[in-house]
Amino acid sequence: MTNPGLPDPERLAARILGGERAAVASGLNLLDNRLPAARDRAVRLLACLSGGRWLTAGHLIGVTGPPGAGKSSLVSAMIREWRLAGTTVGVLAVDPSSRPQLGGGALLGDRIRIKTVGQDDGLFIRSLANRNQLGGVASEVWPMSWLMLACFDIVVIETVGVGQTEIDIAEIGDTVCYVAQPASGDTIQYLKSGIIEIPDIFAVNKADLGAAARKTASEIGRSAPRQDRREGWDYPVCLLSATMQTGIKEFHAHFDRHRRFLVAAGLLERQRSQHQSAWVLRLLKEEFGTFGLGLVGGRTAIEERLGACRSSQFEEYERMREHILSRLLSVNQPTFHHDRSI
């Protein structure tokens, strides 16, 4: 079947790996396309992109927190630091609050006061303004973040925290950062909920507000210790101001430190592999339902298969998807014959 409108996955993958921005944009569009022909190619693209570096390269960072806390402002400040160091950055802004301003990604771009942002090849921002589903992060965000990881040193996903979002983002990111709004009910709710267990780094932005910010920072610092607290990681709470540019360098350094911690503890690969399994399962379930999962042995068998696969789970995903599709076709066939014979 020829689809002149759809890119060839092999060729596109090569261009993405070469860091070509137009190819990244076209790859993201392909992952976002729900047509069956596009889905086939999207899965093929992911499989092509996944080489040996897949599980170890780059740094996937999730930034979450209530609307207005200053997530976009902080991400912009961080981007400045990364770009000054020559580190390439891709951003997926899943932030509905960005939408009314200047259309889509303009808000975040606007906040980045790097004069060259328009022509900076080392920075790519994609706004997915309305993808913060009520029940969590939309499923296309995960493959999109992986595609970006194939060609940028750092990939940041900004999402607005609504409970399930945090849980989802923890299943995407290597490092999760929660940005708190000083003296806000959202933060108090957050501290009371189990979600406080998730972030690796806490940021209390708007330190320029003074006592309110300091109080929130100390509340977070005193909050219940995590059940699964990782030995060797200190869960830093940073008091900083994106507007006044205070505390940014220290904040920035924690991300690199956390990645180094994950690598040293052997957690980076393990975590990514677990994340991949969870999302592959989610994508298969979304596309084919429980019945579809049953056609490749059911959830537990799939998990085992994904856990055992040495190379890329996307290739395994592609194989399972093809298998389900062919089984669905053969399940349907007798009905077709029957229909024809009527």
Ligand X SMILES: Nc1nc2c(ncn2[C@@H]2O[C@H](COP(=O)(O)OP(=O)(O)O)[C@@H](O)[C@H]2O)c(=O)[nH]1
> For binding to ligand X (CB under 6 A), which residues are involved?
65, 67-73, 95, 97, 205-206, 208-209, 241-243
- Which amino acid, 51? G
Choose the contact partner of 80 out of ligand X, Mg ion, none; CB within 5 to 8 A by kind: none
List, as one string, the DSSP characters of 192-251. HSGGGGS-SEEEE--GGGTHHHHHHHHHHHHSPPPTTPPTT----EEE-BTTTTBSHHHH
By the rule CB under 5 A, 64 interacts with Mg ion:
no
* Parallel, antiparallel or unpaired: strands 136-137 and 132-133: antiparallel
DSSP 52: G
Contact 225, 196 (CB under 8 A): no
Nearer to ligand X, 50 or 205 (CB): 205
What is the number of alpha carbons within 13 Å of residue 152 lying toward its C-beta?
30
CB of 129 to ligand X, least distance (A): 12
Q: Is 119 helix (H, G, I), strand (E, B) or coil?
A: helix
CB of 163 to ligand X, least distance (A): 16
Nearer to ligand X, 14 or 209 (CB): 209
Nearer to ligand X, 150 or 201 (CB): 201
For the segment 81-120, give every residue that binds Mg ion (CB under 5 A). 95
Nearer to ligand X, 169 or 324 (CB): 169
Nearer to ligand X, 95 or 316 (CB): 95
Residue 159 has φ and ψ, to the nearest 5°, of -130, 155
CB of 195 to ligand X, least distance (A): 16
Q: Which spans in the chain are helix H?
A: 9-17, 21-32, 36-49, 71-84, 106-111, 141-149, 164-170, 185-192, 211-222, 248-264, 267-295, 298-308, 313-341
Choose the contact partner of 241 out of Mg ion, ligand X, none; CB within 5 to 8 A by kind: ligand X
CB of 16 to ligand X, least distance (A): 27
By the rule CB under 5 A, 72 interacts with Mg ion:
yes
DSSP 181: P
Distance CA 17, CA 15 (A): 5
Residue 72 has φ and ψ, to the nearest 5°, of -65, -40
Choose the contact partner of 68 out of ligand X, Mg ion, none; CB within 5 to 8 A by kind: ligand X
By the rule CB under 5 A, 181 interacts with Mg ion:
no
Residues 115-154 as x/- pattern, contact with Mg ion by CB under 5 A: ----------------------------------------
Nearer to ligand X, 76 or 175 (CB): 76
Contact 64, 165 (CB under 8 A): yes
Nearer to ligand X, 45 or 240 (CB): 240
CB of 91 to ligand X, least distance (A): 12
Nearer to ligand X, 16 or 248 (CB): 248
* Residues whose CB falls within 8 Å of the CB of residue 94, separated by 6 or more in sequence, listed in order: 128, 129, 131, 132, 137, 138, 141, 157, 158, 159, 160
CB of 164 to ligand X, least distance (A): 18
Stretch that binds Mg ion, among 71-79, 193-201, 259-267, 319-327 (CB under 5 A): 71-79
Site size toward Mg ion (CB under 5 A) is: 3
Contact 171, 275 (CB under 8 A): yes
Residues that bind Mg ion (CB under 5 A): 71-72, 95
